[in-house]
Structure 1
Amino acid sequence: MKRATIKDVAEAAGVGVATVSRVLSGGSASASTRERVLAVAAQLDYRPSALGRNLRQRRTGGMGLLVPDLTDTFYGQLAEGVLACARAAGEPVVLGSTGDDPEQEAELIGMLLEQSVDRLIAVPCGGAHAWRPALRAGMTVVFADRVPAADGEDDDLPASLTELMLLDGAGPARSPARPLEVPSVLADDRAGVRTAVRYLTGLGHRRIAYLGGPGHGRRVDAFRAALGGRTDDELVVHADGSRDSAYAAASGLLQSRPDLTALVAGGNMLGEAAVLAARELDLRLPGDLSLVMYDDVPWAELCHPPLTVIAQPGRDLGYRAAELVLRSDVRRPKSVVLPTELIVRGSCGPRR
């Protein structure tokens, strides 16, 4: 069946093509004309051409989505939320994986700028300086799950981004440090980590470690605050974004500090590494080590014992971020904070 065109709608409704376009884009029209055009469009199952609309507006349309790892279950949930919202709005999504590598992130931002993608949702891994070219070029950005670390001047930008900034009239990539005015959709890390630490201390644990990764500044701060400033710095260990690094960090921590009795893993990849390292070292959960993992993923409940987790709403984070990036007033920064939940299972026990 031939797809209906805007001309077909105009002829059937007895109005001009310009009137149909104005009605469908939300422009001014009389109530009777609007009602007639919308009824005919529905009857003919008319769907505006996104390509044609975007070419007229001199934009590519759609949005970009940058996540650290497409194989990570949590980021898969977040991406599904973005895709669901974008699908409902008729927006295509360009998906990229940064590998939690700031250089790769900067390259992908540059690629999206070159392609004139004008909306971007990102789980950032680099500093604030990596995002200033996109913002100066007029891209609408929303951060999800994390916000970029504050930095000093916009030094060490890749040449491609610097060139794009200069072409856009943004000037050299040097400016005083200042916070990025970018909306974000975040889980309530402070409440989640605080609840987990209080649960562990309530079980009698005093030597509690934190295993973190890129972008975990807020979670580490919450961990230290929950312990009331009594944190042993050796018990806060960081890995990069790879599984090998996570395993090395977990194994090194458990071997160097046999006195620790509990561990908070800041993400599901880190939790997986902690479980594997504990097994390699013949440490029993929860007999020798209590473990709380950030993220509730399907395999957590299938572990032996099932893992106690801080659950965050991954799909909702993505959906809300997509809603925000599609809003016309997104340039007025707004942070959305979604609740977390401690789900108690079998990986934690009283200190022995």
Structure 2
Amino acid sequence: MNMRRATIRDVAETAGVGVATVSRVLSGGSASPETRERVLTVAAQLDYRPSALGRNLRQRRSGGIGLLLPDITDTFYGRVADGVLACARSAGEPVIVGTTGDDPEREAELIGMLMEQGVDRLVAIPSGDGESWAPTLRAGLTTVFAHRTSAGCGDIPAVLADDRAGVRTAVDYLTGLGHRRIAYLGGPGQAQRLAVFREAMGPLVDEELIVVARGSRDSAYAAAAGLFQHRPDLTAVLAGGNLLGEAAVLAARELDLRLPRDMSLIMFDDVPWAELCSPSLTVIAQPAQDIGYRAAELVLRGGGRRPRGVLLPTELIVRGSCAARGTSRSPR
């Protein structure tokens, strides 16, 4: 039995058109209604794409999953993407990846592009205040958020790590070590973490020790360096992500601050380099790959009843970057 998979050339020959025409039709480009119908019918008959996509072709949709991430080079976001890709692969669905740079305008452009291409499912780590997502809600695009939510988008289910438990565990650990002047170094999309930090600190919260950077490495470094120079009396820092933790480590080295003698540090995200630092970093670990996989599962299951969101646990991994306040150094 010949099990050879159909090619685009097979579709073109059977439909009586050129390869370029088939490619244009399948990517959502222009073609006459008769040609489009013939190409889509032949592609579905020959099962040119995976079966799930073949069903979408008959429905005049290109199918597949759109995936929007702030930065594909970030290890955490890369692991989220890996989870989405693993789930999509098991379902025979293609994935189109776009990076937003945490820029709402860029995000809106990418959403529009994906909708024009006929993508009918979307997994996203959102940025902005929610305005970008209005077109997807109006168009009925099946959407699931991963890692964080967006203001005004309560109708969109999300797969999240338990930020509340993670921040509280970190603050409890640091205060248990005797720290009282604890700073928070945050970034885009961390409103909930910041709110929980203020709540967990209670009367100890100092607004001057809360700094929020933009999404770039340069901004994160400038925020960390400015914080350390402006408030040399701080004794501990909670960094809201691995980019911010990296900035804190680099700024501390530049300013001759030693971990944990001069300053204790806890970072969200257990990325590989955290254990390779000297000292290795105490972290709040989030199940990044599982977040991506579960988000893809939800978006593939969606369509009828709106799926419920998922909350996954975090874990405090204690390493060498924190010390008891009384033993780390003399008071500044």
Q: Does 1:96 align with 2:98?
A: yes
Q: 1:210 to 1:53 in 2, by over 3 A?
A: same
Show the counterpart of 1:189.
163
> Residues of 2 paired with 1:302 and 1:270: CA distance?
17
CA contact (8 A) 2:298 2:307 kept: no
Show the counterpart of 2:176.
202
Q: How many residue pairs get matched?
A: 285
TM-fit CA distance, 1:129? 1.6
Show the counterpart of 1:169.
none
Show the counterpart of 2:4.
3
CA contact (8 A) 1:265 1:271 kept: yes
TM-fit CA distance, 1:328? 3.5
TM-fit CA distance, 1:230? 3.3
Q: 1:54 to 1:205 in 2, by over 3 A?
A: same
CA RMSD of aligned residues (A): 1.8
Structure 2 residue runs of 5 or longer lacking an equivalent are 7-47, 327-332
Q: 1:52 to 1:323 in 2, by over 3 A?
A: closer
Show the counterpart of 1:223.
197
Q: 1:203 to 1:311 in 2, by over 3 A?
A: same
Show the counterpart of 2:217.
243
The secondary structure found in structure 1 opposite 2:179 is: coil
Name whichever of 329-338 and 288-297 sits farther off: 329-338
Q: Within 5 Å, which residues of 2 pair with 1:287-298?
A: 287-298=261-272
The secondary structure found in structure 2 opposite 1:269 is: helix
Q: 1:270 to 1:139 in 2, by over 3 A?
A: same
Show the counterpart of 1:316.
290
One-letter identity of the residue aligned with 2:4: R
TM-score (norm. length: structure 1): 0.78
Task: Kindly provide the CA deviation profile for residues 98-122 of structure 1, in whole angstroms up to 9, marking residues without a partner as x.
Answer: 0111111111011111111110000
Q: 1:241 to 1:196 in 2, by over 3 A?
A: same
Q: 1:289 to 1:136 in 2, by over 3 A?
A: same
Show the counterpart of 2:232.
258
Show the counterpart of 1:21.
none
> Residues of 2 paired with 1:351 and 1:231: CA distance?
17
Show the counterpart of 1:149.
151
Show the counterpart of 1:77.
79
The secondary structure found in structure 1 opposite 2:76 is: helix
One-letter identity of the residue aligned with 1:69: D
Show the counterpart of 1:41.
none
Task: Kindly provide the CA deviation profile for residues 237-288 of structure 1, in whole angstroms up to 9, marking residues without a partner as x.
Answer: 0001000000000000000000100000000000000000000000000000
Task: Kindly provide the CA deviation profile for residues 308-345 of structure 1, in whole angstroms up to 9, marking residues without a partner as x.
Answer: 00000000000000000000356525120000000000
* Aligned-pair identity (%): 73
- Following TM superposition, where does structure 1 have runs of at least 4 consecutive aligned residues deviating by more than 2 angstroms? 1-5, 46-54, 328-331
Show the counterpart of 1:344.
318
